């Protein structure tokens, strides 16, 4: 559509000598229409949501999100397709399963979560979650949500029972403060009296938002770690599905002992050598360094492979592939 509109503008300008006022008016009208079309596309891209995305308090064409060390992936229609390396739906639960199984109701809302020791029921009203009830054989917890004017949960009220519903505690209020938001207005850092909650979000490409992101084509080795957000998954030492993120303002990777920040410290586009420092989440103290090579893969993805060295000299190999 952009090409056709541009051709129309050029063609109109070519006839300016015959009827300058009329042709110029047409050119302006077509240019204005194009600008309005692009503006509407950008608004739609930013405001797009789905029932699965709403479940996570997300909007926009989200491709993947890392939260609390777990990767969540979505398709282009906003359907939740993966948690970690498995589907969130239709799996059999047993004692050793790490992830829950989720189910939708007839209207497409996620209403139940099942795990080996119990489950959670999600309560929806007017297209968003207003509460949840969690339970196992000896404990129940009920949460209700209040929202701010931006549509984010601003307060939770919690009551608990340690005798499966026989007696209930007094309500506890949990206030949530939002610290950081990304370019589409999704929150990336919030805090409460329960601690900090961090999210790293990557979107499907759209020219007005993620311009010139990543590789130009499958055969290219161009990669700019300062220009776009990336989520990679793979092994770091013994961890087989470790999420690792890179972004213009740094990223996050999570290991069994907690969450770490990382930041790009050196990039050589000719050799594909990328060096990243790993920093302690709480105070920014350096914990070690990732050194490796970025190579292109099929499907426009890239691989980051090399060695992580901690400050004490210990080393482990890593092998990560972009989502």
Say if CB 251 and CB 262 are below 8 A apart.
Answer: yes
Asked if residue 128 and residue 82 are part of one domain, the reply reads yes
Asked if residue 19 and residue 139 are part of one domain, the reply reads no
pLDDT of residue 43: 63
Span 247-273, pLDDT tens digits: 887 787 765 445 578 888 899 888 999
Label residue 67 exposed, middle or buried (CB < 10 Å: 0-12, 13-18, 19+): middle
Span 269-297, mean pLDDT? 87
Asked if residue 298 and residue 219 are part of one domain, the reply reads yes
Say if CB 133 and CB 141 are below 8 A apart.
Answer: yes
Q: Which long-range contacts (CB under 8 A, 24 or more apart) does 138-143 make?
A: 138/162, 138/163, 138/164, 139/164, 140/164, 140/165
Say if CB 35 and CB 28 are below 8 A apart.
Answer: no
User: What is the domain range of residue 67?
Assistant: 51-201
Span 196-214, mean pLDDT? 69
Asked if residue 137 and residue 186 are part of one domain, the reply reads yes
Asked if residue 66 and residue 187 are part of one domain, the reply reads yes
Residue 25 lies in a domain: yes
Helix or strand holding residue 290 (H, E): strand 286-296
Asked if residue 253 and residue 196 are part of one domain, the reply reads no
Domain boundary among 172, 201, 230: 201
Asked if residue 310 and residue 181 are part of one domain, the reply reads no
Label residue 160 exposed, middle or buried (CB < 10 Å: 0-12, 13-18, 19+): middle
What share of the chain has pLDDT > 70, as a percent?
78
When divided into structural domains, the chain yields a total of 3
pLDDT of residue 23: 53
Residue 9 lies in a domain: yes
Structure tokens that stand for 189 in this block: 């850092």
Say if CB 46 and CB 58 are below 8 A apart.
Answer: no
Look at residues 105, 65, 57 and name the one whose alpha carbon lies nearest to residue 83.
65
Residue 146 lies in a domain: yes
Residue 186 lies in a domain: yes
Residue 21 lies in a domain: yes
Look at residues 128, 118, 136, 115 and name the one whose alpha carbon lies nearest to residue 154.
128
Asked if residue 286 and residue 180 are part of one domain, the reply reads no
Asked if residue 39 and residue 56 are part of one domain, the reply reads no
Q: pTM for the full model?
A: 0.77
List Cβ neighbours of 12 (8 Å cut-off, separation of 6 or more). Answer: 23, 24, 26, 27, 30
Asked if residue 35 and residue 7 are part of one domain, the reply reads yes
pLDDT surpasses 60 at 165 = yes
Residue 206 lies in a domain: no
Residue 207 lies in a domain: no
Span 63-79, pLDDT tens digits: 999 988 889 999 999 99
The enclosing domain of 228 has a CATH number of 2.40.128
Asked if residue 80 and residue 135 are part of one domain, the reply reads yes
Residue 33 lies in a domain: yes
Asked if residue 141 and residue 90 are part of one domain, the reply reads yes
């Amino acid at each position: 559509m952009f090409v056709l509109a541009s051709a129309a503008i050029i063609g109109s300008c070519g006839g300016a000598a015959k009827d300058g006022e009329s042709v110029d008016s047409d050119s302006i009208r077509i240019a204005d229409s194009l600008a309005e079309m692009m503006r509407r596309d950008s608004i739609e891209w930013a405001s797009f949501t789905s029932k699965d995305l709403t479940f996570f308090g997300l909007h926009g064409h989200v491709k993947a999100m890392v939260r609390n060390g777990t990767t969540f992936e979505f398709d282009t229609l906003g359907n939740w397709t993966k948690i970690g390396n498995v589907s969130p739906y239709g799996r059999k639960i047993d004692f050793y399963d790490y992830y829950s199984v989720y189910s939708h109701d007839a209207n497409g809302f996620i209403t139940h979560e099942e795990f080996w020791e119990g489950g959670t029921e999600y309560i929806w009203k007017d297209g968003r979650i207003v509460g949840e009830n969690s339970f196992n054989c000896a404990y129940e917890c009920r949460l209700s949500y209040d929202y701010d004017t931006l549509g984010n949960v601003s307060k939770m009220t919690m009551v608990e029972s340690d005798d499966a519903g026989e007696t209930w505690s007094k309500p506890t209020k949990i206030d949530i403060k939002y610290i950081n938001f990304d370019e589409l207005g999704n929150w990336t850092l919030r805090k409460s009296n329960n601690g900090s909650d961090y999210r790293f979000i990557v979107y499907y490409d759209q020219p007005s938002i993620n311009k010139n992101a990543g590789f130009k084509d499958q055969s290219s080795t161009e990669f700019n770690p300062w220009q776009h957000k990336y989520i990679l998954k793979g092994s770091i030492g013994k961890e087989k599905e470790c999420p690792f993120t890179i972004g213009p303002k740094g990223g996050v990777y999570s290991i069994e002992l907690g969450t770490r920040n990382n930041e790009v410290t050196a990039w050589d586009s000719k050799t594909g050598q990328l060096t990243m420092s790993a920093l302690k989440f709480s105070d920014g103290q350096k914990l070690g360094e990732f050194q490796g090579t970025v190579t292109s893969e099929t499907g426009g993805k890239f691989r980051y492979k090399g060695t992580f060295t901690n400050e004490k000299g210990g080393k482990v190999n890593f092998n990560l592939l972009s989502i």
